[in-house]
Amino acid sequence: MLPLHDILHRTGLAFGLAALLGLTAGCHEYIGPEEPPKPGDVYMSAAVSIRGVAGTINTSADFEDRVKTVRLIICDTNSGAVLYNQVHPVGDFTGQPEGATTVWSKPFRLTEGQRDFFFIANEHDWNLDVPLASVVNRSQLFALPALTHIAFPAGYRPSEAKPMLMTRVYRNVTIQALRNGKGSSQTDPQHFVADGDEQVELIRTLAKVKLTLKGVVNVDDVAGTPTPTDIKFKRVVPFKGMTLVNVPKYFSLFVNPYFDGAGYPSTGQFSTDFYT
């Protein structure tokens, strides 16, 4: 026979073990909700050219196809959150071999989902490095004054020191883990397909305007009003110059909101109210 205190001690120990096992079993039986799978990494490369110059880069003597750098900003389509924001030397996006099965180089990394792509060329010579690097949401590209009120230099001509700003936007692009068997490895990245083409065509933010004057008549000031008058005999009038009025003082990196909407400003001067 065992002493009473021994029996109580062993009984208490057994009860404690049973309670502990019960708690352990209860913990083991609880299964929390599964976490949704995170988007996988996708490796991708891009190729750029310039619209209107037969796809050349850095060959034109007038510097109209001069590209030094290309910034790539990738946003989540739904939220606008910036997922990737890096400057690349132009060499990262040129020299890619043609053909859907060829191996491209200089990949960048992103994730699966619906994405918006923004390409910006030559930012440094227009002092846009800092504002572009600070962008954390797509909306800032259309709201930051540094990107919507870029001062137009009087008499500007593209040069080696100040080539033209160029951009291109591709919205709501579906990114999948694999396409054409590519994308899972840095050594064989996917090709970025731009509107069904593997070339990203950069578009200049400024354009040349060529004026051809035909049917010119003699104009005199009549009581303060410019009035065409008959030319009664042949004479040669030297052309001394031309003045353009209502030219905007600023331009934007991306399309002005006026051109994105159905409305049109009924008042104001473009030179002062272009973005208000």
Give residue 265's pLDDT: 55
Give residue 71's pLDDT: 98
Scored b (16 or more CB within 10 A) or e, 167-188 reads bbebeebebeeeeeebbeeeeb
Output the CA–CA distances (angstroms, integers) from residue 15 to 8, 9, 19, 72, 194, in the order listed.
Answer: 10, 10, 6, 66, 71
Fold of 41-204: Immunoglobulin-like (2.60.40)
Per-residue pLDDT of the chain in tens (276 residues, 90 and over written 9): 445 445 444 445 444 444 444 444 444 444 445 445 456 799 999 999 887 655 567 677 788 889 999 999 999 999 999 999 999 999 999 999 999 999 999 999 999 999 999 999 999 999 999 999 999 999 999 889 999 899 988 888 999 999 999 999 999 999 999 999 999 999 999 999 978 888 899 999 988 777 776 766 667 777 878 777 765 555 556 666 677 777 778 889 987 555 555 555 555 554 455 544
Structure tokens, 28: 């083991």
| CA 87, chain centre distance (Å) | 11
What are the boundaries of each domain within the chain? 41-204
Cα(119)–Cα(55) distance, integer angstroms: 16
Predicted structure pTM score: 0.73
Give residue 268's pLDDT: 54
Cα(6)–Cα(12) distance, integer angstroms: 10
Give residue 27's pLDDT: 44
Give residue 231's pLDDT: 58
Terminus-to-terminus CA distance in the chain, angstroms? 99
